[in-house]
Amino acid sequence: MNIVAVLSTTILPLDGVYKVYRVQEAPDIKGVPHYIGHPATKEIVEGMGAVQAPTKLFEGLQPGEAAATFAIKQGRSTRALNGFSSPHQDVDMDDLDIRILVRLE
C-alpha cells in the first residue's frame, strides 16, 4: 500500500473513485507527511514516525495512492457540544478511528 499522507479525517479535494475502510491496527507511517493540527492527535502520529508536512494544505491523492486517517471517534469529540474539536481535548489511541483512504485507478 502506498500511503503518502496522514490526515485527521477523510479529505477528498480531488474528484475520483475512492475506497475507505477501517483498520484495527495502525499502518506503518514512518516518514509519511501528516496534515494534523490537533495537538494530541499530532503527538500520537508523530510518535508513530509521521513527519509534519511542509504545508497545511493537503492537495489530494493520485490514483493508486492512499492516506491513513486518524479521526476522533464519534461521541468522543467535543465537536457535538462546541461545534469544533477543541485543541485542548486530550485523546489517546482508543479515542481514534483509523481508516485507510485509497484513490482507485
Give domain status of residue 75, yes or no. no
At 40, which helix (H) or strand (E)? helix 39-47
Give domain status of residue 29, yes or no. yes
Amino acid 93: pLDDT = 87
Give domain status of residue 76, yes or no. no
Give domain status of residue 66, yes or no. yes
Amino acid 105: pLDDT = 84
Q: Which residue range forms the structural domain that includes residue 48? A: 3-70+96-103
Take residue 31 and report the three cell numbers written for it. 516518514
CB 18, CB 12: distance < 8 Å: yes
Domain count across the chain: 1
CB 86, CB 38: distance < 8 Å: no
Amino acid 90: pLDDT = 73
Tens-digit pLDDT profile for the chain (105 aa)?
Answer: 899 999 999 999 999 999 999 999 999 999 999 999 989 999 999 999 999 999 999 999 999 999 999 998 866 555 556 655 555 667 878 889 999 999 998
**Based on the number of CB atoms within 10 Å of its own CB, is 33 exposed (0-12), middle (13-18) or buried (19 or more)?**
middle
Give domain status of residue 55, yes or no. yes
